[in-house]
Structure 1
Amino acid sequence: MAKLLAKPEVSLKDHLLQVAELAKELSSQLGLSADLSCRAFLAALFHDLGKATRDFQRYMRLLGEGKETEARRLKPRVFPHALASLNFVFLTEKVLFGGPFLATGAVLSHHSPLGGDLYRTWEARPEYEDGLRELITCLIGKLKSIMDKFPDLERDLKTVRGIPPLLLLEKANFQREGRRFSLRGLLKEAPQWGFARVKAVLRLADWLVSAGKKDPGELFLKNGRRAVEDHFRCRNLSPYQFQRRAGRLSKESLALRAPTGSGKTEALLLWAGEAERIVYLLPTQATVNAMYQRLRKIYGPERVGLAHGHASYILHRETEEDLLWERLSSSVFAKPVTVATIDQFLLACLHGRHWEERLTLSASAHLVFDEIHSYEPYTLGLLKEALNDFPGKYLAFASATLPKTLLRMFPTAAFMEAEDRFFSRRRHRLVPVHRFLKENLPEIISAAKKGQKVLVILNTVLEAQEIYRLLCKSYSGPVHLFHSRFVFRDRLAKESMVKEAKAGTILVSTQVVEVSLDISYDVLFSELAPLDALVQRLGRVNRRGARPPAKAKFFTLVGEGSKRVYPKGILERSRSLLENLSEIPQEREWVDAVNRLYEEIVRTESFQEDFELGRQTLREIRETLGCYTIDLADEELRARFATRRGTPSVEVLPETFLTEAWTLKDRKEGWRLVELLVPVPIWWLRTFKDWFYPSEDFGLFVTRLPYNPEEGLLTPTGDGTPEGYELW
């Protein structure tokens, strides 16, 4: 009798036993209850039993013999092994534990998201190999080793193979709380956190074994505190008093207020010094990329993962490890330290793909929400609702200003600030003027000619491009432009270039610089913005406060584009608060002013509506989906699968890069296509139809809008702009 195979070179028995042993260790390290641990062990032990079908074994043998063409022809007819495993795991879980059927749901969905249509077309009864009986006997022996009492299941397991799995899934009736359910319905209504944990353990164990990694320690941080302390020593630094205090609070949730340049990140890492896992969440891809590089230097490249919309590209470009494992482990937060956008966490809370692994691993981590002040009310509402029943024990919320309203919104066991000396710093000399920034170009050029590094911040891309052109005409020194409408490759290059700007450089930027770039320029010229945004802009000038107060000139007259970007009334109120500050304010004055602004903002009807909408959206999606993963083919659900309410954007390919895109495709380097894409407001595609057309070859829209690496994508003419929108 031929040996049953899990892979061409791996026996099915060996694979199941290896995954089960790893699942047992993972359950322990992730702190699963005894009941969940046993269910996870059962799921791991039985998850691939369905590979003992005749067609799957034939498929394995063809691959092993190098007959790939025949194997490809056979593959579509191979009965799904997760479905073929259903009868065995369900019967065993029912007899040993009863409902809820968490192991059953995990096994059924271990290769595909759990959903209402999963395997709905596979009505046949799979044909099993004779060796299945012997394999079941072996696996039951392993189950007996973890159970005090064990019924005689062997006969039932050998007979249940005759039932078509879909019949069991769809037609069997179960009574619960006076209602009748199919098995599929019971799986949907199971406890979400229990299902998530059992499935996460199963899949993590399966992925680790398949990647040849037999040690669950791959997922956990060892000696994290020592790594941070070594980081201080290598830089000949000693932790500040507030950083040491943070390190003593590692078993509590923390709210931290620390000004820019005071060592906030190091304080958070010391707080997480005893953590077995760290998930560090930030608002933008640029901030995540920068923190990813920073933490790799502290903890080691192999310990740090990256998760955001373009993470696969970054990992493909930089990693020398097993790329498939690196991408997968990073995307599900499985690395000991993960740096991600907050969107990745919230999409998991909305039951996006891999939500089970992301939430399970987040719950076992020290979870950091940095720059918490920067999120819109809808996003804060999502987060508030997500954390209501979040089982994680260790959360940290941090910001330079951290308004009291956010402290009330996200209460923690401990609140602390950096030392008073950081809040008494006077790093900037404020010069608010009631003019347009455009009227002040000679002063900007004069500062650059004196050898100063000059930062100029506009509120819209359109205005930034205009100012950049005017400065280039009048100044022969280096002038750079940075905003969101560069192709990804150019944006990465610009991030590196502006960090190392030489004396006499002028950097023109939009608000993307606020939380994107770790730079320290000499003087600031900025349009008026909300007060908390101005604090972030100031943080890019005289960052460490090592020099005398740097001039920061704010222009309180702004165009219509700025008024579209920010909520009604917030600019006027920010101007009033700004003008009441000292000429050379202490950091504490900024904190107090931002507090006053936030107290007013949260009372507005628009804030409350958006905040409650975020909470309601997450609540309703969870109630609708149960244990299902969101189906983005459902138009109504897709419309609500968003973490921010602003104008949605879509990535397009500038026509000027079309030839290069074809070259990448021909070279089988399609992963690099992201280098050539640029985001635009999605309404542009509807309104400016002549400038965009779909490409079936690349699965995206191509734009005829002009593009150059100095200015980025140019804006279409304003003709036909719909009411309520602004070309910015």
Structure 2
Amino acid sequence: MQEDLYHLSSRFWAKTFAADLMAGISYKPVLHHLLDVAAAAQSLLQAKPGLLRRLSARYGVPEDRLMLVLAFLAGLHDLGKISRCFQIKWPEIWPEDELGPLVPVAGRSHWRNTALLLRDPSIAPLLTGLFPSVKPAYLQSQMAPLIAAIAGHHGVPPPPDDMKRDACNDPDLGPQLIPIAAHVAGELARILKPEPLEGLKDNSTFKALSWPVAGLITLADWVGSDAAFFGPQEPDMGAEDYWPLALEAAGKAVREKGLCPPAAFAAPDLARVAPAAAIAPRPLQQAAAELPLSGAPALVILEDTAGAGKTEAALVLAARMLAEGMGEGVFMALPTMATANAMYGRLAPVYRQFFEDGSSPSLVLAHGQAALSQVFRASTAQATPASGDPGGDDQPVSAFCASWLADSRRKSLLADVGAATIDQAFLAVLRKKHLALRQAGLASHVLIVDEAHCFDAYMGKELEHLLELHAMLGGSAIVLSATLAEAQKTAMLKAFAKGLGLRTPQGLDAGADPAGVPYPLITRLDAGTVTRTAPGTDPRLHREVAVRRAASREAVMQEALEAARQGAAVAIICNAVDPAIRMFEALREAGGVPVDLFHARMAQVDRQAIEAEVLSRFGKDAPQERRAGRILVATQVIEQSLDLDFDLILTDLAPVDLLIQRAGRLWRHMPQRPLETRPFDAPTLVVLSADPDEVADAKWGVDVLQQAAFTYRRPAVVWRTARHLFGRGRIVSPADMRPLIEAVYNAASWDDVPEPLHQAQQMAEGEEQGNRQLAKFNLAKPAEGYTGLQDQLSSDEEIGTRLGEATLTLRIARMRDGKLVPLAEPGGPGPDAMAEAWALSALSCRKAILTRQGRDAPPPPDAAEEKRRAAARETLRRSWPEFEASIVIAILEEDGHLDAGPDYSRSLSYSRSHGLINGAARE
């Protein structure tokens, strides 16, 4: 009977190989494919012994047993292909003599059938027997998260009803196919010989384990399905003979796909990872280089002022974590594309230092416009194939990057070192398809989150879930901020502790007054205990910035002009784009002083050029003659991470942490530009604001800031910022950092806030609470396990990583010889160059910008011209991928007006210097 079952099972196909039909080997049977994926899972775990050790410690089971159990679970992933609904796709090899005709049934997807089969009494004991500590009465409920993770490897778990159906009475399976499936599962168990995991019995542990199981299976199935490595063998080949072939193929596939991480350098220090900083290290950097590490998953929060070298401190700490086996790679998450681009440039010269000399780590830039980064394109264009030796000293590129990593943002988290927007990490916890693959990549990395203070309520909740899940997966994290409120920090620590299975880690509630907590500070959650280290301050970073109020934009403009005429490099930072454009125009009309404009509402080609120009004029290495006497008008794009230096900054009122960030761009490079070279005696931050002592109604500040008053919808926080800053008249760094942040953000009482602002503050708090609730709805809930995703998951486009007004992507085109061509000139011939040119011609903006109608809009084109433009748009769209169908095509006319089509405003215009403008905003 067993021999008959083996013969029958070999007739059930899992993969086809059309190219081998002539040779008579045209398919791979289910058993062989299951062995392929089990071998891939085992090879992936063997390639990352540190990850296996961390998971073993997290779940309290031996490493060798855990590896075999996880490989076995991975092997079960496609058992549901032994079903009529799947086999009907190639009925020619159906064993009709033994099973009768293959009758079509209204079946479900084969992966859903896996869930039914794993619960069948003839197969379930193979699974439940691995967890003898679970009481029989609870076996089915506790197995549910693991079954969902095994079956749901195509991006979504099976629906709840599939966890209740009876396979024996199901027309797609039934008593004919169940014995065959049971035989295949039994053969898999016989070959792998998984041994019971005694320690797993708590329901929450099974739910937590389902996440790494789901991620591993998704990755292993991707590897094990590659016909280039796992080619066909004779379908009747026995499992004993096939298993060594599968193991050999899996090892080769993992190596050549770049999934075998290089060994970490054993004793990294500042001199290796940040040689420039090592010459005269800052206290934070020295403390990070000496911070005790247990080797267990840890969360470390670094707080220090601008210029303290937080990035270098994080890099040396991450390198030490790799050496301790706390990760196999590094993933840096930044707030914006510009900061991610800049970080990629900083990582490229040093990322190899994390690993043993002579190794070939990969470095990837991952965000929505990564392909448009000139630095990234340069590094990937010359990439050496992974099968060669890309790590030689003669390699002509700064960053090796396997092509498959560069091609897909979903897989970019698998690179050894990555720089990305925080959105790419958030996609691992949002209720979206393929989140498990992102989790699998992230689990092996030390996650570094920069500028954490700038997250709003929605993003803050995303970060908490991300840290919780990262801890469940055995990962470690480092969070950087200059201005982090104590409540934010506590929320992060609690989330990470929850992921470790801890209720309240020792030392979390120190009972100290938040305003009295030391600053700078290193807060570490390691081995279940929270410890705080005050690294001390660097006298070189002690400074005092004068703060005073400007009462009008006219006053701001006049002071900026006077300062520039004295030779100062001046920045004016506006909270919104339209006021920035108006200020830029007013300054140009005043004349006599060169002015630049930098904001996000520009086509990528222009934004990149302007960003490079700004860095060359106001960056660290800018010569004095290029920066002196110039004014830069900008929005928040210069607030974070861009290394700029100004003699004077004038800014719209914003929450105190953001103003501190803006002040960090004052007198930043003192060794290059000492006091005697500056046009003023001291750095000054001039803040455009209403008088905080004169609050007549809820519209306080609107008369002065106009549109920019509505950027930050936290009236009490903004008012407190004005009161405390103007009351002090200065920001003393680092002494004022903690007291200022806590004084402004203390939500225990708003009694000090003027009564006219109370209702507006309550509305703002209600909106924030609503955003947190929306985040909870949109986010995967780590504590519920993989079964918690059984509601409908969305595609990437349907749930945003950030909240805000509805946005649209617009591509700017020109009409040339009756055809539409991109604003950006293609860099060469061929479709790839044209696709890149269209991407460089794109910008993203609020939908309201495109729909607001103005009174002085030019007339629409005549009917014939409108018809020609509509036809040209339709022709162009047919050449684009389907997912680009929603992009707005705006035709740039000779006079600068934009025709975005009949559904959008006729008041739109675009220029390379101003960006996108809606004339209605000026009315």
* TM-score with structure 1 setting the length: 0.76
Report the counterpart of residue 820 of structure 2 in structure 1. Answer: 659
2:688 is aligned, of 552, 555, 563, to 555
In 1: Cα distance, 2:596 partner to 2:287 partner: 41
1:299 Cα deviation after fit: 1.1
Report the CA distance shift for 1:482/1:424 in structure 2 as closer, same or farther (over 3 A).
Answer: closer
1:718 Cα deviation after fit: 4.2
In 2: Cα distance, 1:577 partner to 1:480 partner: 32
Report the counterpart of residue 94 of structure 1 in structure 2. Answer: 124
2:369 is aligned, of 310, 331, 347, to 310
Structure 1: give runs of 5+ residues left out of the alignment: 61-76, 150-185, 720-726
Matched, 1:405 2:423: no
1:503 is aligned, of 599, 622, 627, to 627
1:464 Cα deviation after fit: 0.8
Q: Which moved more, 1:7-16 or 1:382-391?
A: 7-16
Is the 8 Å Cα contact of residues 40 and 199 (structure 1) preserved in structure 2? no
1:142 Cα deviation after fit: 1.8
Report the counterpart of residue 142 of structure 1 in structure 2. Answer: 191
Q: Which moved more, 1:251-260 or 1:531-540?
A: 251-260
* Residue deviations 1:382-403 (CA, integer Å, cap 9, x gap): 4345656752563433211223
2:724 is aligned, of 577, 588, 598, to 577
Report the counterpart of residue 164 of structure 1 in structure 2. Answer: none
What does residue range 204-243 of structure 1 map to in structure 2 within 5 Å? 204-208=219-223, 210=226, 213-215=253-255, 218-219=260-261, 222-223=264-265, 226=268, 229-233=271-275, 237-243=279-285
1:274 is aligned, of 321, 325, 329, to 321
1:483 Cα deviation after fit: 0.9
Report the counterpart of residue 376 of structure 1 in structure 2. Answer: 456
1:87 Cα deviation after fit: 6.5
Matched, 1:521 2:635: no
Matched, 1:708 2:911: yes
- State the AA in 2 paired with 1:616: Q
- State the AA in 2 paired with 1:367: L
> In angstroms, what is the RMSD of aligned CA positions?
4.6
2:74 is aligned, of 30, 44, 50, to 44
- State the AA in 2 paired with 1:660: V
Report the counterpart of residue 676 of structure 1 in structure 2. Answer: 841
1:265 Cα deviation after fit: 1.0
Structure having the higher Rg: 2
- State the AA in 2 paired with 1:438: E
Matched, 1:194 2:224: no
Report the counterpart of residue 261 of structure 1 in structure 2. Answer: 307
- 3-state SS of the aligned residue for 1:519? coil
- 3-state SS of the aligned residue for 2:709? helix
Report the CA distance shift for 1:113/1:583 in structure 2 as closer, same or farther (over 3 A).
Answer: closer
1:681 Cα deviation after fit: 1.5
- 3-state SS of the aligned residue for 1:433? strand
In 1: Cα distance, 2:188 partner to 2:220 partner: 17
In 2: Cα distance, 1:447 partner to 1:331 partner: 49
Report the CA distance shift for 1:406/1:259 in structure 2 as closer, same or farther (over 3 A).
Answer: same
- 3-state SS of the aligned residue for 2:708? helix
Is the 8 Å Cα contact of residues 547 and 725 (structure 2) preserved in structure 1? no
1:565 Cα deviation after fit: 0.8
- 3-state SS of the aligned residue for 1:679? strand
Is the 8 Å Cα contact of residues 631 and 638 (structure 1) preserved in structure 2? no
* Residue deviations 1:544-569 (CA, integer Å, cap 9, x gap): 44433334333335322121112224
Is the 8 Å Cα contact of residues 581 and 589 (structure 1) preserved in structure 2? no
Is the 8 Å Cα contact of residues 378 and 610 (structure 1) preserved in structure 2? no
Matched, 1:461 2:577: yes
1:463 Cα deviation after fit: 1.1
- 3-state SS of the aligned residue for 2:480? strand
In 2: Cα distance, 1:453 partner to 1:223 partner: 43
* Residue deviations 1:1-21 (CA, integer Å, cap 9, x gap): 999784647966776545323
Report the CA distance shift for 1:241/1:585 in structure 2 as closer, same or farther (over 3 A).
Answer: closer
In 2: Cα distance, 1:327 partner to 1:227 partner: 33
Report the counterpart of residue 699 of structure 1 in structure 2. Answer: 885
In 2: Cα distance, 1:84 partner to 1:262 partner: 56
1:602 Cα deviation after fit: 8.3
Is the 8 Å Cα contact of residues 381 and 613 (structure 1) preserved in structure 2? no
In 1: Cα distance, 2:171 partner to 2:609 partner: 54
1:44 Cα deviation after fit: 3.1
Is the 8 Å Cα contact of residues 453 and 503 (structure 1) preserved in structure 2? yes
Report the counterpart of residue 473 of structure 1 in structure 2. Answer: 589
1:465 Cα deviation after fit: 0.7
1:295 Cα deviation after fit: 2.2
Report the CA distance shift for 1:714/1:148 in structure 2 as closer, same or farther (over 3 A).
Answer: closer
Report the counterpart of residue 564 of structure 1 in structure 2. Answer: 710
Report the CA distance shift for 1:590/1:602 in structure 2 as closer, same or farther (over 3 A).
Answer: same
Is the 8 Å Cα contact of residues 448 and 503 (structure 1) preserved in structure 2? no
Q: Which moved more, 1:442-451 or 1:599-608?
A: 599-608
Report the CA distance shift for 1:308/1:79 in structure 2 as closer, same or farther (over 3 A).
Answer: same
Matched, 1:109 2:152: yes
Matched, 1:491 2:607: yes
Is the 8 Å Cα contact of residues 55 and 78 (structure 1) preserved in structure 2? no
1:220 Cα deviation after fit: 6.8
In 1: Cα distance, 2:807 partner to 2:41 partner: 41
Report the CA distance shift for 1:475/1:585 in structure 2 as closer, same or farther (over 3 A).
Answer: farther
What does residue range 612-631 of structure 1 map to in structure 2 within 5 Å? 612-620=769-777, 622=780, 626-628=787-789, 631=792
1:274 Cα deviation after fit: 1.8
In 2: Cα distance, 1:87 partner to 1:584 partner: 64
* Residue deviations 1:310-329 (CA, integer Å, cap 9, x gap): 34655667523443333447
Report the CA distance shift for 1:205/1:220 in structure 2 as closer, same or farther (over 3 A).
Answer: farther
In 2: Cα distance, 1:125 partner to 1:424 partner: 71
Report the CA distance shift for 1:439/1:59 in structure 2 as closer, same or farther (over 3 A).
Answer: farther
Report the CA distance shift for 1:631/1:4 in structure 2 as closer, same or farther (over 3 A).
Answer: closer
* Residue deviations 1:100-151 (CA, integer Å, cap 9, x gap): 155643453333433549999x9867999xx9999878645423x33479xx
In 1: Cα distance, 2:185 partner to 2:745 partner: 62
Q: Which moved more, 1:307-316 or 1:661-670?
A: 661-670
